[in-house]
Amino acid sequence: MPSESEITFGPRRSDGWRKVSANVAGKDVSHLYYGPAKVHVGRHAAVTMGCIGGVGTDKQHRRKGLARRVFSGAVAAMKGEGYTVAGLFTSRRLVAHRLYRRFGLVDVSSGRIACKVLDPAALARRGLSSLVQQSPELGRRRLALRLCFERSRTVCLKIEGNDVSVLSRAPRGVDLSLTMSHTTFLGLLDSSIGLSHALGAKLVQWSGDAGAFETLANAIAGRLRPVDEE
């Protein structure tokens, strides 16, 4: 229970960082660290930012409001110490992101990044290999796949016995043909895009064996687990 916890502040290290923790029965069960940085706001000014990191709560002590108490304690201390703004880096895939928004933190980055696929065949083979490793069902299938990346050459691959290989030429019979951009393929692999969303938005088009597609879709869906560790 929150009422049984005590918020404590650790000593300031030589680099200005300190730990704030919630202790239950003398044990640190929820904490964060903060430290200073002069962050520039354009050419003429800099602000004193409290950089927050190392946020975590023991699994058995989650959903008790401890992280909020630690965060509120840290923000109050920061204000007293001359910090005017607090900031942290996190991932939109983390449950913690939603928690931070409830604490009043606001996303300020654009959420976009540029990338270029230099070797589509290697990317396709590595991507499918990682899927096969995580999905025994996909690994058990024998599949000939054609991946058509927009603005780039087509890559033909074979999945057989948990192994993925790039074929130098298109086989006679292809079980499954998929057309998508590199960025969509990367998004599916790192779970930033869900397959159903990609299909709905027509980012992915496919033709061929429906069973093979379902197996592949299940393998991709298996990667879409929210991460709640922070």
Partner 1 sequence: MSPRRRDMTIRSFREGDEQVLARLFNAYVGDFLGPIRLTPKAWRAQFKRRNWTGPSLTDDSDCCRIAEAGGRVLGYALTDYQPLWREDTAVVQELCAVDESGAEDVMQALLADAEQRTLERGKSCLVLGLSPEDGLSAGAAVSRGYEERQETEVFMVLIVDLSGFLEEIAPALSARLAESPLGDWRGSVKILSGDKSSGLFCGDGSVAVGPAPDEPDVTLTVRPEALPLLLLGRETIGELYVQDAVSLTAADAAEALSLLDALFPRLPLFFPRAQWW
What residue ranges bind partner 1 (CB under 8 A)? 35, 37-51, 53, 75, 78-79, 82-93, 97, 100-101, 103-120, 122-123, 126, 151, 181-183, 186-187, 190, 192-193
Closer residue to partner 1 (CB): 53 or 200: 53
Yes or no: say if 228 and 95 are a contact pair by the CB < 8 Å rule. yes
From the CB of 19, what's the least distance to partner 1, in Å?
Answer: 14
Closer residue to partner 1 (CB): 35 or 65: 35
Closer residue to partner 1 (CB): 83 or 213: 83
> Which H or E run includes 206?
strand 205-208
Using alpha carbons, list the distances in angstroms from residue 201 to 7, 184, 196, 230.
47, 11, 9, 32
> Which H or E run includes 197?
helix 195-200
Yes or no: say if 105 and 68 are a contact pair by the CB < 8 Å rule. no
From the CB of 59, what's the least distance to partner 1, in Å?
Answer: 23
Yes or no: say if 5 and 73 are a contact pair by the CB < 8 Å rule. no
Closer residue to partner 1 (CB): 25 or 41: 41
From the CB of 57, what's the least distance to partner 1, in Å?
Answer: 18
